Structure 1
Amino acid sequence: MHTQNVNVKTAAQESSRKMGEGQDTVAVAREYVAQATALKEGVAVTLSEVNRYGDIQVEIRTHGLLNWRAWSFEADFLSDLKRKLQDVQL
């Protein structure tokens, strides 16, 4: 009998990427960040493409201190991003 350890969370994410899902999440996240133009003083929002699957990472910093960071493949990413961006806008 052969057994193999599989990280179910990772496998599910990779499967959804292969099917083309997640790209809409990235596009929506980019739009949210682009629309966040009236940020409070000292707030910086960065969007980074840092892996081969097309996922992005978003960071929100105030005066250089990290307030929030998340990846586009995380659960509730878009709703969390939208809420966090509203918190740092004027």
Structure 2
Amino acid sequence: MKIKLDKDYMVNELGLPESSLLEEITDTSRWSIHYRIVFSYQGRFFETFYSKGATENQYESPWEFEDQVDCYEVELKEVKVRKWVRKETE
């Protein structure tokens, strides 16, 4: 399920992105750091994305160029992941 929330409501009323349950960096560029957050809203959980300036000279605030923000409902699931790890020696 996708909902749209007003940027000002998210920042001022929900306290996002600071009050998010999860915040992770998804990518970086020369001028910005891109984030994914998960937050609670009306008893359900949603994810959305934002970016902010990568340096103290690069001002960019979350959702600076958006009035309405797309948020997607998510659920917490256990996910099995395979990865390469060092082999233990005897």
TM-score (norm 1): 0.29
* Structure (1/2) with the larger helix percentage: 1
* Structure (1/2) with the larger strand percentage: 2
Q: Report which of the two structures shows the higher radius of gyration computed on alpha carbons.
A: 2
